[in-house]
Every structure is written in C-alpha cells, then in structure tokens.
Amino acid sequence: MRATTDGREPQLFIIDPSAGLRPAKDSRVALMQAAQRAGQQVWVCTPADLSAVGVTAWARVQPVTLAPMVSSPDGWVVPEPWFELGEPQRLPLDHFPRVWMRKDPPVDEAYLYATHLLELAERAGVRVLNRPASLRAWNEKLGALRFSHLMAPSLVSSAVEQLAAFAADHGEVVLKPLGGRAGQGVVRSTADAPGLHALLELVTQQQQLPVMVQAFLPGVTAGDKRILMVDGEPLGAVNRRPKAGEFRSNLAVGGLPEATELTAAEQSICREIGADLRQAGLFFVGIDVIDGRLSEINVTSPTGVREVEWLGQQPLADQTMEKLLAV
C-alpha cells in the first residue's frame, strides 16, 4: 500500500480544472470530500496533465484540501475558499492505488487518449474508476442498447428516411445526439411536424452522423429518475421533474430535484444490469429511468450525489467510499 509522508493513502481524481467546479452541485467534489473524510490524501489533475514514459504513465498532480460543507433548507452552503491546492508534483500513476477518471464529457480525442494512458496505469496494478476500456465502449446512449428490452422503442441511424419512418410509426419522438450530455441538443418532435426532414438532416449532419431516436414517454412529466449505482448495486436516487414548458428534466437545464424511492420496476432494472456493470469495471454509474423504462447509462461523470445527500439526508458519497476502500 502506498502512503504519503503523513501516513495517508493517496487517491487521485482526474477532473476538470478545480476553479471551474460548482461544489454545491458537483458529485466529484462530494466524492473527494468523502475520500478526505475516509483518511485519504486527495490529489487532482486534468487529462492534459497525463503523460507516459515507456510503459509507465505519469501525471502532474497537486494535493488538494477541501473545506467541509453543511446542508441548509436551500441546499449546500459553500465556504470560501472551498479548496486549497498544494504544490504540483510529477508522479507515476502507480503511486496511487485508486484513480478516478471524472472528467466531464465530451468524449473527444483528448478524452480517449487519456483512457489509453490510464490503461498503462491499470496494467501496473492501479484501480481506475471507471475502467478505461469501458469508458470507451459504453457510450452513454448506445451502452443502454445492451438492455434494449428495458427501454422505450429506440433506433440509431444516420438515414433520414429511416428516422422519419420511425417517427411515423410512433407519432411523437425524442432525438438525442450520441455525444450529448446533460440534455443538451435533445429535441422533441412529431411525425407530422413541419420541417421534420430538415431537422433530421441537421442533426445527422446530412446523413453522416448517427443519432438516437426514441418513442416519447409522456410519463416524463412526472420526472426522470437518476439512480446512482455503486459496484453494481443501487445506492441512492433522485427524481428530476421538468420545469414548466420543458420536457427535459436534466438538472443542468432547470429540472427540479425531488426526493424519491425506487419502485419495484426500477429495482428490477437495477438487478438486471448490475452484474454487467460490475463485470465491466463500471464502479460508479448513473442510470436514468423514465416511467419504468431505462433511458441512459451514464458512466463518465454521473451527477446526483449532492441532491441525494441534501434531499434524503443520506451520506451517499461516504457510503461509496466505504465500498471502494473495502475492496
């Protein structure tokens, strides 16, 4: 076991620049604070800080000390400053027993190259969360198709006529860019909408880029449930209700978080997909369920921890860290 000079085991989080994080909303901050409370020394870097010399992956890293936060009836109270960075160091990634890859999408070239560098660390015995190969293989829209029988009717294609025919079959549909996040670029339309073909040409970049189209689920007005799964088991959930005049329920586009419990159908979904997530090395995952139907499987940087902790008074980040450090 590796330890720092003060005897604490180090844990590295690969994230976006710390100054741009929103600590009252960000699951990464919640997890880093939980690691600190568990006696770990928390370090951070960005994907751009990764490098390799031969078969050894390295990173320019900084230790970070996080101030404690308390909840209030209005949300989390953020102290100022809420973090303090130490001096940067260049260390091999195998200095860290556990490394979190928690960079927000897009999953672009830089992101993909970072996963390849992280595989070098994985071969050296580092536990990378989530597994780099699975971050590449489980696109957050396409990954759910492994369980298409649990989903609303779905089609992935770049062919305008095929997409239009699907819309004609189902009447009202939702179009999703495969690389989108937080509800960005998601469009609701109908088979008889004026300009549907033009819209399909636009979202497919003139039939060069596949998109996902799904039958619209009217039950989304009651909310889109984010279920956080840790090591293949559901640990907490938050319902996200669309704001007035909107069908998207993502918190980033104004969805309203609500306390919730899992239904029997949602528990069944979790049981069915949990073993596959665990086998794929997807330790921390956020699945989205609408009206009892699986919608997405979010593996890169799923959110919702802060809302579960605030609304349900559940120490979800601490529970996640307890599961991680028990292995």
As beta bridge partners, residue 85 has 64
Active-site position among 94, 288, 307, 309? 288
Exposed, middle or buried: residue 118 (CB in 10 Å: 0-12, 13-18, 19+)?
Answer: buried
* 250 in active site: no
Active-site position among 102, 226, 293, 306? 226
Q: Distances from the Cα of 223 to the Cαs of 187, 219, 239, 260, in angstroms?
A: 17, 7, 6, 10
From the list 322, 255, 311, the residue with the least C-alpha distance to 71 is 311
Q: Which residues contact 38 (CB under 8 A, 6 or more apart)?
A: 318, 321, 322, 325
Active-site position among 28, 176, 181, 293? 176
Active-site position among 266, 296, 307, 309? 296
* 136 in active site: no
What does the alpha-carbon distance between residue 100 and residue 46 come to, in Å, rounded to a whole number? 11
What does the alpha-carbon distance between residue 122 and residue 264 come to, in Å, rounded to a whole number? 37
- The answer to whether residues 288 and 137 touch, using CB atoms and an 8 Å cutoff, is no
Active-site position among 102, 103, 141, 225? 141
* 176 in active site: yes
* 240 in active site: yes
- The answer to whether residues 306 and 320 touch, using CB atoms and an 8 Å cutoff, is no
The SS3 call for residue 75 is: strand
Active-site position among 103, 240, 293, 306? 240
For the sheet with 284-290, list strands across it.
256-258, 233-241, 224-230, 284-290, 293-298
Active-site position among 298, 306, 307, 309? 298
* 104 in active site: no
Active-site position among 25, 28, 98, 248? 248
From the list 41, 33, 14, the residue with the least C-alpha distance to 78 is 33
Residues serving a catalytic function are: 141, 176, 226, 240, 248, 288, 296, 298
